[in-house]
Structure 1
Amino acid sequence: MLLDVQGRQAYCYTGGKAFDAALPTAVFIHGAQNDHSVWALQTRYFAHHGFGVLAVDLPGHGRSEGEPLATVEGMADWLLALLDAAGVQRAFLVGHSMGSLVALETAGRAPQRVAALCMVGTAYPMKVSGALLDASLHEEHRAIDMVNIWSHSGMAQKPSSPGPGFFVMSGSRRLMERISRRNPAKVFHADFSACNAYSNGESAAQAVQAPALLLLGKSDMMTPPKAAMGLGKLLAHCTVTQLDDCGHALMAEQPDGVLDALYGFCKANMAAA
């Protein structure tokens, strides 16, 4: 589905069903150098089990027009504008990595519009090493390799790989390379810089009124679980769930575990929609 957001076309995947704003709406927000496709399993399930789904491509990513936005605050403003364009007054926000910060900032800015907040593979502050920032600007393929290695708990993901011949790490690498090919702007560097600079997390967390879920990978080297615990103390109604045998790429390594946690949490808070 294409929407006009701030004068540009924005793409949202709707889970294989036509979007219905009358249903409870679940909004999925991807991380750095990714797009809506990282949520393929979760979004299709939500869309066929009682939710309207909007899995966004942030500006400059995937099929959405424009340059990558420079700040998490700017992405939150964009997301609120997208909800307006879609006719959604209240939503369940699900964000991974950078997307979790966007969801947090959005929930802090407009708490009345958020039924529940799910932050997957999150941390605050979400600082990025100088070496990775530099590589994302000058040696993007090296940055892709670095992130891909650090985001997975091992070279082979079992039993989450759907079948013989499917290589989780290669799929992640190809997605990041496709983002680079589609947009000549330094998307990876813009995303990492936005994460690194974001400093409003504590204030945003204190303003959140909705129930919150922190969904973390026990073997996450990019955003270690301990780096999210400060947020857990600031969020008024917070549940923390950690998945075994899982790094930062939770949706790839433990797709069923992520789906069960997200759907169960959102379904339990359906009355807030």
Structure 2
Amino acid sequence: MLLNVQGQEAYCYTGGKPFNRELPTVVFIHGAQNDHSVWILQTRYFAHHGFGVLALDLPGHGRSKGAPLTSVEAMADWLIALLDAAGVQKAALIGHSMGSLIALESAFRAPDRVGRLALVGTAYPMKVSDALLDASKNNEQMAIDMVNIWSHTSIAQKPSCPGPGFYVMNGSQRLMQHVSRQNPAQVFYTDFSACNAYANGEVAAKSLAGPALLVLGKRDMMTPPKATATLTKTIPQCRVVQIDNCGHSLMAEQPDAVLDALFGFMKE
């Protein structure tokens, strides 16, 4: 589905069904150098089981036009404008990695527009190492390689995760390369810089009025579970699910466990 958001064309995947704003809406927000496709295995189930799904491409990512936004705050404003464009008054938000910060900041900026919140592979503060920041600016392929090594629990997921012919690590690498080819504007560096600079997470977490779920990979090296201490101590209604044998690319490495956690939470 194409929408006009802040004067630019924005794309949302709707889970294989036409978007119905009369249903409870769930917005899925991807992370750095990704697009809506990281949520394919979860969004299709939601869309076929009673929810209206908007899995967005952020500006400069995937099919959405425009330059990548330079701050989490700007991305949150964009997301709220997307809800306006879609005619959605209130939605639940599910964000992965950088997307979790966008979800958190959106709930802070528009508390009346956001219901439940699910933060997947999250951390706060979400600091990026100097080595990775430098690579994302000066050697993007090296940054892609670094992130993929650190985001997965093994080179070859077994047995045939999550199905024959599906190579988790290679799929993630190819997606990041695709985003890079589509947009030469140093998307990775812009995204990482935004994560690194975001400083309103604790204030936003304290302000949450509704329930929040943190879905974490026990073997996540990008945003390890211990890096959520500020959020778990600060969010008033917080619960945590940790998934075994899982790194930062939770939605692909353990798709069923992630779906079970998210769907159960959203159905409550």
The normalised TM-score by structure 2 is 0.99
Rounded to whole Å, the distance in 2 between the matches of 1:164 and 1:20 is 33
Counterparts of residues 167-186 of structure 1 (less than 5 Å): 167-186=167-186
Q: How big is each residue's C-alpha offset from its partner over 1:16-36, in whole Å with a ceiling of 9 and x where there is no partner?
A: 000011100000000000000
Q: Does residue 1:254 correspond to 2:254, yes or no?
A: yes
Q: 2: distance between equivalents of 1:15 and 1:249?
A: 20
Tell whether 2:70 aligns with 1:70.
Answer: yes
Deviation (angstroms), 1:182: 0.6
Q: What letter matches 1:165 in structure 2?
A: G
Structure 2 Cα separation of the partners of residues 73 and 108 of structure 1? 10
Structure 1: segments with no counterpart, 5+ residues = 269-273
C-alpha distance in 2 between matches for 1:181 and 1:115: 36
User: Does the CA-based 8 Å contact 2:59-2:65 persist in structure 1?
Assistant: yes
SS of the aligned residue for 2:132 comes to helix
CA distance in 1 between partners of 2:16 and 2:60 (Å): 23
Equivalent-residue separation in structure 2 for 1:176 and 1:229 (angstroms): 29
> Where does residue 229 of structure 2 map in the other structure?
229
Distance 2:67 2:194 in 1: 13
What's the secondary structure of 1:55's corresponding residue? Answer: strand
Distance between the aligned counterparts of 1:221 and 1:201, measured in 2?
A: 20
Quick one: which amino acid aligns to residue 233 of structure 2?
A: K
Q: Which residue identity does 1:193 align to in structure 2?
A: S
Displacement after TM superposition at 1:159 (Å): 4.2
Letter in 2 for 1:55: A
Inter-partner Cα distance in structure 2 for 1:52 and 1:163? 26
Give per-residue Cα distances to partners, 1:212-238, cap 9 Å, x unaligned.
000000000000001012101111111
Contact 2:162/2:253 (8 A) holds in 1: no
Task: State which drifts further: 155-164 or 175-184.
Answer: 155-164
**Matched letter for residue 187 of structure 2:** V
Number of residue pairs matched by the alignment: 268
* Partner in structure 2 of residue 46 of structure 1: 46
Q: Measure, in 1, the Cα distance between the counterparts of 2:257 and 2:243.
A: 7
Distance in 2 separating the partners of 1:87 and 1:153: 40
Partners of 2:107 and 2:114 within 8 A in 1: yes
Determine if contact 2:71/2:194 at 8 Å carries over to the other structure. Answer: yes
The residue type paired with residue 250 of structure 2 is L
| Structure 1: 4+ residue segments shifted above 6 A | none
Give secondary structure in 1 for the equivalent of 2:50.
coil
Matched residue, 1:116 = 116
Structure 2 distance, partners of 1:98, 1:159, is 29
Which one is further off, 227-236 or 26-35? 227-236
Q: How far apart are the structure 2 equivalents of 1:162 and 1:80?
A: 33
User: Is 1:75–1:102's contact at 8 Å kept on the other side of the alignment?
Assistant: yes
Q: Distance in 2 between matches of 1:170 and 1:135?
A: 20
Using the alignment, how far apart are the partners of 2:96 and 2:237 within structure 1? 19
Distance 1:87 1:22 in 2: 10
Distance 1:159 1:115, change over 3 A: farther
Equivalent pair of 1:25/1:90 in contact (CA under 8 Å):
yes
Aligned with 2:112: secondary structure?
Answer: helix
Return the alpha-carbon distance in structure 1 between the equivalents of residues 56 and 219 of structure 2.
27
- Whole-Å separation in 1 of the counterparts to 2:212 and 2:174: 32
Deviations 1:155-187 (A, max 9, x none): 122347133332110000000000001111100
Structure 2 unaligned spans of 5+ = none
Map Cα deviations across residues 123-160 of structure 1 (whole Å, 9 max, x no partner).
00000000100000110000000000000011122347
What is the one-letter code of the residue matched to 2:12? C
- AA matched with 1:139: N
Give the letter aligned to residue 198 of structure 2: Y
1:135 alignment counterpart? 135
Q: Which amino acid aligns with 2:6?
A: Q
